Amino acid sequence: MDLITENQHEIIEEFEMFSDWVEKYDYIIELGKELPALDDKFKNDDHLISGCQSKVWLQAEMNADKVRFTADSDAIITKGIIALLIRVWDDQLPADILKSELSFINSIDLKEHLSMTRSNGLLSMIKQMKMYALAFESQKNVANL
């Protein structure tokens, strides 16, 4: 089992411990609070994810061939959601991020418990993270020509 799949299984197991969505939301909020702080220099329009109702800033960089993500949001649940995505994809190869499927989202019924605007925001966050991975993978491929 690859690391991305393992990360998703851990999240699914953690969410199975909770009996209702009030507890699950509390857990998502806690994950957001534990997310390492994003440097204020990245809280600008260049790092703002469009399509989110709340403000979400995402920064990515390559470190030893792997993508490192940091993020922040002005909404506590949204910050928890981006923390979940980072937990799955942080410190992974760009190619692995691009080919991965985020099965945990359906397994924990996350989309069903989000408002339409938050659900659209989730899709925007996923799209932006994959765009970073695509850009890094393209840079690597160009460098290898």
Query: Residue ranges per domain, the chain?
Result: 3-139
Q: DSSP letters along the chain, please?
A: --HHHHHHHHHHHHHHT-SSHHHHHHHHHHHHHHSPPPPGGG-SGGGBPTT-SS-EEEEEEEETTEEEEEEEESSHHHHHHHHHHHHHHTTB-HHHHHH---HHHHHTTTGGGS-HHHHHHHHHHHHHHHHHHHHHHHHHHHHT-
52 given a catalytic annotation? yes
For 17, 58, 109, 113, the CA distances from 70, given in Å and listed in that order, are 27, 6, 25, 25
Residue 5 has pLDDT above 90, yes or no: yes
Given the residues 52, 88, 93, 126, the one annotated as active site:
52
Residue 117's pLDDT band, with cuts at 50, 70 and 90, is: confident
What is the rounded CA–CA span in Å between residue 122 and residue 137? 23
pLDDT attached to residue 118: 86
Just give the CATH number of 3-139.
Answer: 3.90.1010.10
Residue 61's pLDDT band, with cuts at 50, 70 and 90, is: very high
Burial of 57 (0-12, 13-18, 19+ CB in 10 A): buried
Does residue 40 or residue 118 have the better pLDDT? 40
Q: Please, what is the end-to-end C-alpha distance for the chain in angstroms?
A: 31
Residue 102's pLDDT band, with cuts at 50, 70 and 90, is: very high
Q: What is the mean pLDDT of the chain?
A: 93
pLDDT attached to residue 143: 67
